[in-house]
Amino acid sequence: MLYNRYWDRVLSLAYRKTGDRMEAENIVQDVFVSLWKRRESLRIKGDFSHYLFVSVKYRVLKVLAKQSAVRSVSLDMATEILDDSTQQYLDFEEIRERLEVLVGKLPVKSRLVYQMKNEDKSYKEIAAELKISEKAVDAHLLRARRKLRVELGSFLGSFLL
């Protein structure tokens, strides 16, 4: 009887405060379920409608506080991810720049072979273009990679400290 008498007014109040019909329905339902569970021990002094509206307002505040906390945590996580990705990008750029400098210091043939291989050319294409054997392409590429690995390894060691 109390539910039928008041549900539409308290639902209207909850909806105005939350702006979400489903959330407002959940709040009203929770308040009435709570009243039903405590019906035997509950002693309301004064007007029942006043008690009911105050209960709904407190439940709305509780829900809004919870939503705000979730949004805050989500925002903090997003900010942390963005901050981390920005740092990762800067780190990557520094490593990429260092790699370019090191590639520039390679012997001419090794540098050409390395750059052509990074352009996804096959050993056969590189060999034909530079007029060397495929075995020579492999040797130049092996030397270039080994030198870069050593140089970048020492750079990364100091970079990560």
Q: Report d(CA 149, CA 143) in Å as an integer.
A: 10
91 lies in a domain? no
What DSSP assignment string belongs to 4-29? Answer: HHHHHHHHHHHHHHHS-HHHHHHHHH
136 lies in a domain? yes
Indicate which CATH number applies to the domain containing 125.
Answer: 1.10.10
If you ran DSSP here, which 8-state letter would residue 38 be given? T
Q: Report d(CA 70, CA 65) in Å as an integer.
A: 9
146 lies in a domain? yes
- Structure-block tokens of residue 57: 């307002």
- What domain range includes position 156? 105-160
Indicate which CATH number applies to the domain containing 27.
Answer: 1.10.1740.10
Phi and psi (nearest 5°) for 75?
A: -65, -40
pLDDT at 137: 93
pLDDT at 125: 93
9 lies in a domain? yes
**Rounded mean pLDDT for each run of 10 residues along the chain, 161 residues in total:** 83 86 89 86 78 83 77 63 58 77 90 89 92 94 88 64 42
Shared domain check, 69 and 126: no
What DSSP assignment string belongs to 56-124? Answer: HHHHHHHHHHHHHHHHHHHHHHHHHHHHHHHHHHHHHHHHHHHHHHHHHTS-HHHHHHHHHHHTT--HH
Shared domain check, 69 and 17: yes
Domain end: 34, 57, 76, which one? Answer: 76
pLDDT at 161: 42
Please tell me the total count of domains within the chain.
2
151 lies in a domain? yes
pLDDT at 82: 56
